[in-house]
Chains A and B, each alone.
Chain A
């Protein structure tokens, strides 16, 4: 089966030529590749959206992981946001807290929708439910947000990688942030080309991000990286909407991410042998969670 698009250039060209949204091209490609009806596909994405809503709601009430490494930060962030004194602005902090909420639910073995992975599941819904308050989208536009995000993730997954073990955290949270940024553009009424610029700007700023989970668990630093992925996505979307472009084309940025992932030492690709996982406190936390000899000093 020949795909409608294989890279971002083809995706944007097609959307421009046919005067369609990126989300529409993704829906059409899904129908073509999987031989399913539009209705079927829309229903499944609607269900994924509901899972995301429920996860955010649950996380904002407060959850804690079994290991005790994460939990409760989404509540802190929302309380702080309610004071009205947040320096980074209401929408940004809302996106950050909802991204954290989702990932805390994930770490606590709650139900989430992997976007594109479980460890990076907070960024897309976090930004979606924050911009929702500003842009008042219809339910269909919210579902389309996920298809637009999916279209960009699809390109990354097929041309580079969305796995931390293969490409570091730039491939997971980096991709998620780029996907979210492109989706914000479409919802805000930007052009397909601006979606591509936003993705490129976001991804450029996530390049080189290592995957160094403490004790090998998808908790530290993953939850906070989702927060920053969400922030990065919102800011890059604003930049693209302001007319800022990426000097390096989107597909080349994705290519660079893949190259960087390939040359990253394995200690920094989800093995928990380097980076934050290898700090004295990281090692101490690992031994506290899994038992065994205490390596490193810790607290």
Chain B
């Protein structure tokens, strides 16, 4: 079932006007910030499909910047997020694209600071629900509705078992998991949706495992 909670139907509480174009957009921005791990210094946001055509009227742009500032869908500050971003020293740019994408409400968010850069593609699938479909060139499927861990690792045997064992040790149940790699033996990515939030201790243990490059957590 795509929808598991009644609050996907009666909710979210949000700033109008559109659950797909505003609330979904804010969530896409916020997940990007979560994945980046901090507030970026700059953002380049590519908008596709209906996002590209109606983003000004639906305040999709304002909502995405709000998300990058860590605002939830109901945060009143979404309305003034452009000013808040400027005050926080974050520069941003919106680029409406004409290219074809699979989903009508798609955004590619490229963010960065002096230390690193990140690119993420998100789609708004209706009613404020979103999916993350690509991270730094890796295709993936992440709903953003459950706590999740992203593990960047070297493509070696045993990596996945080690991570699963570590989660088992802390009694953390895996709800959904995807593994992808760019090329055999090189960089790979695990996307693990779990049932409860993962605390720091678990994150530290995961980082200590062999061949693990980076571990990021997305809280619910």
Using a CB–CB cutoff of 8 Å, the interface residues on chain A facing chain B are 1, 3, 6, 26, 29-30, 33-35, 41, 44-45, 47-48, 51, 65, 67, 105-119, 121, 124, 146-147, 149-151, 153-154, 157-158, 161-163, 165-166, 179, 215-219, 270-272, 289-290
For chain B, residues 1 to 32, give those with C-beta under 8 angstroms from any C-beta of chain A: 1-23
Q: Assess whether B126 is interfacial by the CB under 8 Å rule.
A: yes
| Measured CA separation A26–B8 after assembly (Å) | 13
Cross-chain pair count, CB within 8 angstroms: 159
Residue in contact with B57 in the complex, picked from A6, A154, A289, CB distance below 8 Å: A289
Instruction: Indicate if the CB atoms of A108 and B10 lie closer than 8 Å.
Output: no
Given contacts A33-B4, A51-B13, A111-B13, contact A118 B18 (CB under 8 A): yes
Residue of chain B at shortest CB distance from A154: B9
Instruction: Indicate if the CB atoms of B9 and A153 lie closer than 8 Å.
Output: yes
Query: Which residues of chain A are near B1, meaning CB under 8 Å?
Result: 3, 6, 158
Query: Which residues of chain B are near A48, meaning CB under 8 Å?
Result: 7, 10-11, 13
Q: Produce 1/0 per residue, B16-56, CB < 8 A to A.
A: 11111111000000000000000000000000001001101
Query: What are 25 contact pairs spanning A and B, CB under 8 A?
Result: A30-B6, A47-B13, A48-B11, A106-B16, A109-B15, A111-B14, A111-B16, A113-B12, A114-B10, A114-B19, A114-B128, A116-B9, A116-B10, A116-B127, A118-B18, A118-B23, A150-B10, A162-B9, A162-B126, A165-B20, A218-B18, A270-B50, A271-B104, A272-B53, A290-B56
Query: Which residues of chain B are near A33, meaning CB under 8 Å?
Result: 4-5
Instruction: Indicate if the CB atoms of A290 and B6 lie closer than 8 Å.
Output: no
Residue in contact with A163 in the complex, picked from B9, B58, B76, B127, CB distance below 8 Å: B127
Given contacts A116-B9, A158-B3, contact A111 B74 (CB under 8 A): yes
Q: Assess whether B195 is interfacial by the CB under 8 Å rule.
A: yes
Query: Which residues of chain B are near A35, meaning CB under 8 Å?
Result: 195
Given contacts A117-B127, A157-B127, A217-B54, contact A151 B6 (CB under 8 A): yes
| Measured CA separation A62–B4 after assembly (Å) | 36
Shortest Cβ-Cβ A-B pairs, 4 listed: A163-B126, A216-B54, A106-B16, A153-B9
